Amino acid sequence: MSTIPSVDLQEFVSGDAAKKQKFTKEIGKAFEDIGFVALSGHFLSEDLVKNLYKEIKNFFNQDQAIKDSYEIEGIGGQRGYTSFGKEHAKGRKEGDLKEFWHFGQYVENDAKLEAEYPNNVIVKELPQFNVIGEETYKMLEKTAKYVLRALALHLDLEENYFDAYIKNGNSILRPIHYPPITSEPKNAVRAAAHGDINLITLLMGAHGKGLQVQNHEGEWVDAIARPDQLMINVGDMLSRLTNNKLKSTIHQVVNPPKELWGTSRYSIPFFMHPISEMSLNCLPNCISDKNPKQFEDITAGAFLHERLIELGLIKG
């Protein structure tokens, strides 16, 4: 497979049983074959997307001292700002050529989780930054909920199987700035080859070359979405849960050709995480003689903790 399949979420929510079944079949097959789809028909309006990019560019264009004041010690980068080169891919020492911000969950009616999750960080210089960030977070979370409902049906689970696990889940919206490259990078790329930790990732900003996906033959395929599409991929948690029936695909963001080094790149992934207690034990109906159980039993919270250590964001 050399291209990323396209699907339209409006088919799933249309109320038409045949269209709903078509969407479920198409996204299920894509996630089994390559682990990525380009999705239209999501819940983000054009105006919301435009306003988000404006606010993000305003934030990253501020003086470094102002940005650094929003880097919060002791929370493993879960909220607020993370400065350039801090994060690296699993198994690599070189920091990725990026800086980023984290918006986290807006907890509803759950005092325990309110205490567990760090507070979102308010940027006082930009009054609309947090307002637009929260609205985007909620629209992406809503989109992800319906994608997971389709995947539940594809896996022969009850349609709302994931709903209780993702409500108040530990999801993250991460606006990323890849600054202009000023000198030859030593072994570093904008984002080194990696798989995502979470259930699914919804990516805004995959409209130009840069994002590449590794197919089953080990070839790197450009993943480019239309302006009205989100790129969505399977994360390691969902791969574990489905005993690798749904594929968490290795992907990377490569450096641009030298003539484009002077340009910034912005991308905005939404990492859909469940609550910590969710079991990632392989689903019984995904285990067979042909596909024996491949993963040890673990909860989502324990798995996330392991991976944050591997990424260098928290200490073991």
Domains of the chain: 6-310 (2.60.120.330)
Is the predicted pLDDT of residue 267 greater than 90, yes or no?
Answer: no
Mean pLDDT of the chain: 88
Q: Which is nearest to 291 in space by CA: 32, 12, 35, 19?
A: 32
Is the predicted pLDDT of residue 257 greater than 70, yes or no?
Answer: no
- The per-residue pLDDT for 190 is 53
Report pLDDT digits (tens) over 195-231. 889 999 999 876 667 788 888 788 888 888 888 999 9
- Rounded to a whole number of angstroms, the distance between the first and last alpha carbons of the chain is 39
Contact, 162 vs 199, CB < 8 A? yes
Q: Given CA atoms 43, 46, 51, 57 in this order, what sign does their dihedral have?
A: positive
**3-state class (DSSP) for residue 82:** strand
- 188 against 45, higher pLDDT: 45
Is the predicted pLDDT of residue 256 greater than 70, yes or no?
Answer: no
Task: Tell me the average pLDDT across 298-308.
Answer: 91
Average the pLDDT over each of 72-76, 160-164, 234-238 and give the range with the smallest value.
72-76
- The per-residue pLDDT for 187 is 59
- Is pTM beyond 0.95? Reply is no
- 66 against 212, higher pLDDT: 66
* Order of strands across the sheet that contains 191-194: 191-194, 251-253, 211-214, 220-222
Model confidence band, residue 309 (pLDDT cutoffs 50, 70, 90) = confident
Strand 36-40 relative to strand 6-8: parallel, antiparallel, unpaired? parallel
